[in-house]
Structure 1
Amino acid sequence: MSLADKVLAVNDDLPIRTDRPVHSGKVRSVYWLTAEDSARLIREKGYNVPADTPLAIMVISDRISAFDCIWQGEEGLAGVPGKGAALNAISSHWFKLFKEQGLADSHILDIPHPFVWIVQKASPVLVEAIARQYITGSMWRAYQNGEREFCGITLPEGLTKDQKLPELLITPSTKGILRGLDGVPEADDVNVSRADLERHYAAFGFRSPADIDGYETLLKQGFGVIGEALAQLDQIFVDTKFEFGYVKDAAGNEKLIYMDEVGTPDSSRIWDGAAHREGKIVEQSKEGFRQWLLNHFPDPDILLNKNRMEERFALARDNQLPVEVMMDISRTYIGIAEKVVGHKIELCANPKQEIIDILSGYGLID
């Protein structure tokens, strides 16, 4: 069996019973279960949700996205070996730690396979909740170009690249395009201020203005829990993105929860502590791949300029990356995952068949 066979790149064609279109994102695909299957699983498994809660099967892939594009490797390597399992293992570990430490629950009800979560339907907060402990990446590029205000927060003069910030900064952006909101541009992924959230709290999906405090508290607490755990592994938690939503428990009580993924190399920057003490940045996240792409292609502006998206998509479509680059990403993801979870991440020989076999036991395969 070739290495390419061990990669799950296409994850929206599984024979999971659903009566709705499969939603496929950059990395995950979501299969909404029928009302009958949702009710049956809630009853059989005793999930702590109302009996009529819609459930979904969320299947991760090994696809690698960067700069809003999916990248492929040579020799038929349509994804990064071990990446999906590493991401799910890291997220599941942090979600469990959050719950143990009394922060908040997640949308995950069950983990039948390393690539699969069974989740409950949540009402999402339409905010990419971003927390930054260091000035780097897009914030540094904007600062270098003279910007000093980010999401209503003014940064001091004289900061240097990769410097630790005086305090943890919360710099939210829009999740999806919100229309007709005063002061909020009608575009995905644009920065918003705390004042914007307060003014339009209902449009952003918050139940009350007080819940803005709640999400900021959970963001800071979550960052602290992950940052402390990574520090014990001599890793530095640089910045991250969280997502939040509302769900109900079996008694009908609504609560704010963490959702999507947390603290992964896809959603965060993580630096190696030992290298940092020597004045070097060694990325333990997707940022290393982003930097490779910027250095590899002769015109990095294509990757940074949102007005050149057609050229960017063509670049990703027409260039197969060296196998060694894909394997370097694999080593980064598996390496940090094994540090975090404390055990080996095994590559599935045939992930698609394994998922089908396991979900057959849940009565979900047609």
Structure 2
Amino acid sequence: MSLADKVLAVNNDLPIRTDKPVHSGKVRSVYWLTEADSARLIKEKGYPVAADAPLAVMVISDRMSAFDCIWKGENGLRGVPGKGAALNAVANHWFKRFKEQGLADSHILDIPHPAVWIVQKARPVMIEAIARQYITGSMWRAYSKGEREFCGIELPDGLQKDQKLPELLITPSTKGILKGIPGVPEADDVNITRQNILENFAAFNFQGAEDIDGYEQLLKEGFDVISAELEKLDQVFVDTKFEFGYVSDAEGREKLIYMDEVGTPDSSRIWDGSQYRNGVVVENSKEGFRQALLNHFPDPDILLNKDRMDERLALARDNELPESMLMAVSNTYVGIAEKIIGEKLVISDNPKAEIIDVLRDTYGLVD
């Protein structure tokens, strides 16, 4: 079996029973179950949700996205071996920790396979909440050009690249294109202030203004849980993205939960602790791949300049990266995942066939 066969690159063509279109993102595909299948599974498996709650099967791929493009490698490599399993394993670990610590639930109800979640439909809060403990990346690039205000927060002069910030910063941005909010451009992923959210909480899908305090508390407490555990592994938790939503519990009460993924090498920056103390940043996250891409192509501005998006998409479409670049990502993702979960990661030889088998035999979702 070739390396390429182990990669789950296409995840929107599984024969899962659904009566709605499959929603496919950069990495995950979502299959909304029929009302009958949702109700049957809730009853059979005893999921702690309302009897008529809509459920979905979420399948993660091994596709590699960066700079808003999907990248491929030579020798038919259409993704990164083990990447999906690593991301799911890490997210599962942190969601479980949050629940154990009494913070909040997640949208995940069941894990039939390392690449699959069964989730409850959530009403997403339309915010990507970025938590930053160190100044690096886009924040450093803007700061080094003289910017001092980020999402309504003033930063002091004199900060150095990659240094720890005086406190954990929450720098939110929009999730999707939101229309009609004063002072907020109608574009995806634009920075917003806490004041923007307070004055327009309903437009961001918050039930009430008091839930803004609630999401910030869950974000800070979640960040602290991950940061403390990573510190024990001599890893530095630099920054991460949180997403939140509302679900109904078995009694029909709405509650704020964590959703999407959290604390993964895709959604966070994680640095090696001993190297950082020696003044060297070694990335244990997607940032390493981004840097490799910037070094690989002769004109890195194509990757950084949003006005050159057509050229960027063509670059990803027309170039096969060296296999060694994608295997370096595999080693990073699998390595950090195994550190975090404390055991060997199970990587499927034939993920698609395994997923179909378990969803047919154990869950009755494949005809």
TM-score range, shorter chain: over 0.9
Distance 2:297 2:160 in 1: 26
Distance 1:37 1:346 in 2: 28
Shift of 1:122: 0.4
> Are the aligned partners of 2:56 and 2:119 in contact in 1 as well (CA < 8 Å)?
yes
Distance 2:164 2:304 in 1: 24
Question: Does residue 364 of the first structure (1) align with residue 365 of the second (2)?
Answer: yes
Q: Secondary structure at the match of 2:85?
A: helix
Q: Secondary structure at the match of 1:211?
A: helix
- Mapping 1:113-128, distance limit 5 Å: 113-128=113-128
Letter in 1 for 2:52: D
> Counterpart of 1:130?
130
Shift of 1:253: 1.3
Shift of 1:148: 1.0
Distance 1:104 1:340 in 2: 20
Distance 2:130 2:86 in 1: 22
Letter in 1 for 2:168: L
> Are the aligned partners of 2:42 and 2:51 in contact in 1 as well (CA < 8 Å)?
yes
> Counterpart of 1:352?
352
Distance 1:243 1:64 in 2: 20
> Counterpart of 1:200?
200
> Counterpart of 1:100?
100
Shift of 1:252: 1.0
Distance 1:318 1:325 in 2: 16
> Counterpart of 1:142?
142
> Counterpart of 1:284?
284
> Counterpart of 2:56?
56
Q: Secondary structure at the match of 1:171?
A: strand
Distance 2:261 2:128 in 1: 12
> Counterpart of 1:341?
341
> Counterpart of 1:209?
209
> Counterpart of 1:310?
310
Q: Secondary structure at the match of 1:112?
A: strand
Q: Secondary structure at the match of 2:298?
A: coil
Shift of 1:301: 1.1
Q: Secondary structure at the match of 2:94?
A: helix
Shift of 1:239: 0.1
Which TM-score applies when normalising by structure 1? 0.99
Distance 1:204 1:309 in 2: 27
**Which runs of no fewer than 5 residues in structure 1 stay unpaired?**
none
> Counterpart of 1:299?
299
Letter in 2 for 1:362: Y
> Are the aligned partners of 2:114 and 2:346 in contact in 1 as well (CA < 8 Å)?
no
Shift of 1:346: 2.2
**Which runs of no fewer than 5 residues in structure 2 stay unpaired?**
none
Distance 2:15 2:109 in 1: 21
RMSD over equivalenced CA pairs, Å = 0.6
Q: Secondary structure at the match of 1:201?
A: coil
Q: Secondary structure at the match of 2:276?
A: helix
Letter in 2 for 1:202: A
> Counterpart of 1:324?
324
Q: Secondary structure at the match of 1:186?
A: coil
> Are the aligned partners of 2:235 and 2:272 in contact in 1 as well (CA < 8 Å)?
yes
Q: Deviations over 1:117-152 (max 9, x none)?
A: 000000100000100000000111111122111000
Q: Secondary structure at the match of 2:41?
A: helix
Question: Does residue 91 of the first structure (1) align with residue 123 of the second (2)?
Answer: no
> Counterpart of 2:242?
242
Shift of 1:363: 0.6
Q: Deviations over 1:225-255 (max 9, x none)?
A: 0000000000000000000000011011111
Q: Secondary structure at the match of 2:132?
A: strand
Distance 1:58 1:277 in 2: 39
Letter in 2 for 1:57: V
The ranges of structure 1 where at least 4 consecutive aligned residues each deviate by more than 3 angstroms after the TM superposition are: none
Shift of 1:294: 1.0
